[in-house]
Amino acid sequence: MSFGTSAQVPLPLLITGIAGVAGYNALEYFQAKYPGQVVGIRQQDNWRLAGPGIIACNAEDRVTLSRLFDRYQFRSVLNCAGNCALRACELDPRLAWRTNVEGLINLLSIIADTDVRLVHNSIDLVYAGREQGGYTEQERTNPVTVYGKTMVAAEWLLADWMPQACVLRISLPMGVSFNGHAGAIDWIQSRFKKGRPATLYFDEVRTPTYTDCLNLVYERALATDLAGLYHAGGPRQLSLYQIAQIVNRVGGYDPDLLMGCPRIEAGPIPPRAGNVTLDSTALARELDGAPFDPWPADESLVPTHNDWHYERGPESGSPELLADVLYNNPRR
């Protein structure tokens, strides 16, 4: 990853959705780089997420959000807000719409006629999946979940009302979560830590990224006039089962705890996407360099068959090693 930025992020910066892996790690990165200039907001009922610069404000609460803009005079926003709980969204589409769409409507109603810089997270699950994956930005969306449908609606809003914003379709952000069980790594590891089995899918394929890399992309996008929709997936395609294999072996957990199955055996709720891997060539071209290192960075930690996680190599797996090479990019 060779690109960098000499431009300045417009400050103060607001980061929404800090309960998610992407937002949580971005908040830590930007607060360390711009002390006292970065504020993160979380839902009112998420009282455990607290700390300097963290404010309780529901995305759909326009009055409180507007007051925050009046108070801090934000000049840029990194919008990581969204309810990505697939089952909850399927069972309560109104909840998904309120969080994923109405929250953005409120934000746009405040900043659409201003010069506030906006970078917005979307997701690879705007696609249903296909055998080869490798979706480009020009291909039509066809989500199979309520979550994906609401994220498409949010993209349409931005295209109509704030085309100068930058929309990044991300995949699985690989980093620590605030509660220890959100996000791909933490959920899988939380099962193994407690000696509980985890079942993952052979045929749901994603393009995960280190949050270390994602933060640099956010910074570049915020500091420049990059506009429109870009895919922001990593260069390595991995199934959810392969990701769990990596977590299992690198973390040194019992290999018998990992189970795999095809999506068709998952049941109707929530429906599962297939190969939704992203082609991020356009983003690399705009940034004059590959934006993401592969996850994991070490090629020897990439599974080669379905029983690969039983083969314990010289890495002597442990939670400490997992933190060093899966949560964090060892190339940085």
Cβ–Cβ < 8 Å for 277, 206: yes
Alpha-carbon distance 159 to 179, whole Å? 34
- According to DSSP, the residues that pair with 229 across neighbouring strands are 167
6 confidence band (pLDDT: 50, 70, 90): low
Query: Tokens standing for 231?
Result: 């895919």
Query: Tokens standing for 246?
Result: 């990596």
Per-residue model confidence as pLDDT tens digits over 95-126: 999 989 999 999 999 999 999 999 999 999 99
CA dist 218 to 7, 49, 332, Å? Answer: 13, 22, 16
Per-residue model confidence as pLDDT tens digits over 16-73: 999 999 999 999 999 999 999 999 999 888 889 899 999 999 888 999 999 999 999 9
Alpha-carbon distance 206 to 106, whole Å? 31
Q: Which tops the pLDDT comparison, 256 or 269?
A: 256
- Residue from 158, 163, 152, 238 nearest 202 by CA: 238
- Which of 3.50.50.60, 3.40.50.720, 2.40.128.120, 2.60.120.480 would CATH assign to domain 13-178+209-235+278-292? 3.40.50.720
HEC string of the chain equals CCCCCCCCCCCCEEEECCCCHHHHHHHHHHHHHCCCCEEEEECCCCCCCCCCCEEECCCCCHHHHHHHHHHHCCCEEEECCCCCCHHHHHHCHHHHHHHHHHHHHHHHHHHCCCCCEEEEEEEHHHCCCCCCCCECCCCCCCCCCHHHHHHHHHHHHHHHHCCCCEEEEECCEECCCCCCCCHHHHHHHHHHHCCCCEEEECCCEECCEEHHHHHHHHHHHHHCCCCEEEEECCCCCEEHHHHHHHHHHHCCCCHHHEEEECHHHCCCCCCCCCECCECCHHHHHHHCCCCCCCCCCCHHHCCCCCCHHHCCCCCCCCHHHHHHHHHCCCCC
Would you list the domain boundaries of the chain? 13-178+209-235+278-292
Alpha-carbon distance 299 to 297, whole Å? 6
Per-residue model confidence as pLDDT tens digits over 177-228: 988 878 899 999 999 999 999 999 999 999 999 999 999 999 999 999 999 9
Q: Which residues contact 116 (CB under 8 A, 6 or more apart)?
A: 10, 74, 75, 76, 77
Percent of the chain surpassing pLDDT 90: 87
Q: Which amino acid is at 232?
A: A
Residue with tokens 């997992």: 322
Q: Provide mean pLDDT across the span 278-292.
A: 96
332 confidence band (pLDDT: 50, 70, 90): confident
Provide the mean pLDDT of the chain.
94
Q: Determine the pLDDT at residue 2.
A: 41
Alpha-carbon distance 45 to 106, whole Å? 19
Query: Tokens standing for 252?
Result: 């040194």
β-strand pairing of 166-170 with 117-123: parallel
Q: Determine the pLDDT at residue 197.
A: 97
* 129-150 burial: b if 16+ Cβ within 10 Å, else e: bbeebbbebeeebebbbbbbbb
Rounded to 5 degrees, φ, ψ at 36 are 75, 0
166 confidence band (pLDDT: 50, 70, 90): very high
Q: Determine the pLDDT at residue 182.
A: 82
Q: Determine the pLDDT at residue 1.
A: 41
Alpha-carbon torsion angle 20, 24, 27, 29, nearest 10: -130
